[in-house]
Amino acid sequence: MAFHLKTRIWQTGALDWWAMLNNEDVYLGSREFPLPPEEGDEWTVRSTGDRFKIRDGEIVHLGNFPVEDAFPW
């Protein structure tokens, strides 16, 4: 159980984080992923707009939201 999470997560050689959610591989982001992940953490993956939150030790997909460009240059 990595990081005391119930959700199975792993990091690829490209430093991307993935999880197994509902029997599917789900991209959690790279730099967006909180390290160490703790209860209540919430983040949005910039490349996909997917938002996640850690509730009761599990990563939960909150939905897909429009991503605002944080760096306009």
Q: What is the pLDDT of residue 45?
A: 94
Per-residue pLDDT tens digits for 6-58: 999 999 999 999 999 999 999 999 999 999 999 999 999 998 999 999 999 99
- Beta-bridge mates of residue 27: 18
Q: Which helix (H) or strand (E) holds 9?
A: strand 9-11
Q: Map residue 4 onto helix, strand or coil.
A: helix
CB atoms near residue 59 (< 10 Å): 23
Residue 40 is encoded by which pair of tokens? 């209540």
CA torsion through residues 26, 41, 38, 32, sign: positive
Specify the pTM.
0.85
Write down the domain spans for the chain. 2-64
Question: Taking every pair of C-alpha atoms in the chain, what is the biggest distance, in angstroms?
Answer: 40
